[in-house]
Amino acid sequence: MLEISLKKKLKGFEVGVELRLEEELLVLFGPSGAGKTMILKMISGIAAPDEGRVVSGGEVLFDSAKGVDLPVRKRKVGYLFQDYALFPHMTVEENIAYGIEGPKGTAVKKVAELLSLMRLTGLEKRYPHELSGGQKQRTALARTLAAEPGVLLLDEPFSALDYQVREKLRADLLNIHRLYPITTVLVTHDLEEAFMLGRKIAVINNGSIEQSGTREDVFYRPRTRNVARFMGVRNIFAGIVSGLEDSSVLIDTPDIGVIKAPRPQSGALTAGQEVSFCIRPEEILVIRPDRVLGKVQDNILECGITGAIGKGSTHILYLETGQGRTPLKVELPNFVVRKLELAVGRRVKVSLKRENIWVIA
């Protein structure tokens, strides 16, 4: 269990966060320079907060009100640095054994165990400069786990790795977390990584938490336009409430006309009020030209394709309804783009299904 409440003034902005997590993995997600690393440094004691409290597993590590400030070495915090900070003058096994306390026999056994868990067997006599990026990262993680930390802090642990290695090591990390269910905070600015690793995600912007919750909450139900933007929801529109129904709200937008969206459960909406809503680019449906529109469908828009960008296995299409200036972005698998012959200059019908729309209150 980890409970933090920290404040620190930095150049240009202030970090102020409150978090509480059990033996789980929390992803701190946010743009570069949002203060994510500073939060980890304050938890570990490397950086001093101006005020606040850090409690790990019932033990108070820091409490400005009571004057408690445990030295770094007594905090039992495991920290994986972005560039791993392996000791260059020690071999892999010396690095891993460095933080182990107790008799030599247990240390040897523990090192052997971690070597095999981290797929480092055979590399024990190598020096850090003789290792690949992935091996360095695994050595650093093994060294951290060897000291049996109460909390694990991971600072952009995959940012220095190739794409393929990254995929593999992310899966490894989840496995290791299942084996060693330590309270873990992982910092990243990579959306894919945040989604893959964090059941819980806290979105940091300008030093404070804009939203925290389950990944589905944050991903599909952003509370602010910023969170929506960071989460890759590329269609965010502003409009005016033009009608209210039991479970729906009609929003009149200058860009794509009147849109029917689900009525938010919290927060009373009144007609004439300004609201924003969003829909993820991959949640917009393209309607085949030959399809008969049976039941009444909401939010069908007829658009012209004004741009198309390939993104590997998918395409992003830019659609304009001819009304406003903000285009609608739709992400489609390449095969759909090919099959429907969607190209710049052609027209297409899309549906913004009501349940795929999220109103930002």
Using CB under 8 A as the criterion, what x/- string covers residues 242-261 for binding other proteins?
--------------------
Q: What element of type H or E holds 178?
A: helix 163-179
- Give the span between the Cα atoms of 331 and 314, in whole angstroms: 6
Cβ 142 to other proteins, closest distance in Å? 12
The interface region with other proteins, picked from 67-75, 158-166, 300-308, 322-330 by CB under 8 A, is 67-75
CB 88 to other proteins: min, Å: 6
- Decide if residue 336 touches other proteins (CB under 8 A): no
Distances 256 to 118, 236, 264, 318 between C-alpha atoms, Å: 52, 11, 20, 13
Q: How far apart (Å, rounded) are the C-alpha atoms in residues 286 and 289?
A: 9
For other proteins, which stretch binds (CB under 8 A), given 69-77, 112-120, 173-181, 200-208?
69-77
CA distance 229 to 250: 23
User: Counting contacts by CB under 8 A, is residue 11 touching other proteins?
Assistant: no
Q: Which of residues 97-126 bind other proteins (CB under 8 A)?
A: 98-99, 101
* Dihedrals phi, psi of 51, to nearest 5 degrees: -155, 165
Q: How many residues bind other proteins (CB under 8 A)?
A: 25
SS3 annotation, 71-96: CHHHCCEEEECCCCCCCCCCCHHHHH
Site for other proteins (CB under 8 A): which residue of 11, 129, 295, 311?
Answer: 129
Per CB under 8 A, 1 contacts other proteins: no
Select 79 or 277, whichever has its Cβ closest to other proteins: 79
The least distance separating other proteins from the CB of residue 127, rounded to whole angstroms, comes to 7
150 binds other proteins (CB under 8 A): no
Binding flag, residue 77, other proteins (CB under 8 A): yes
Reading the block at residue 265, the tokens are: 């459960």
- The nearest distance, CB 99 to other proteins, in angstroms, is 3
| Cα–Cα nearest to 159, from 178, 180, 186, 177 | 186
Question: Percentage helix, strand, coil, to 5, in the chain?
Answer: 25, 35, 40
d(CA 4, CA 133): 32
Binding residues (CB under 8 A) for other proteins: these are: 44, 46, 71-79, 81, 83, 85, 87-89, 98-99, 101, 127, 129, 143-144, 147
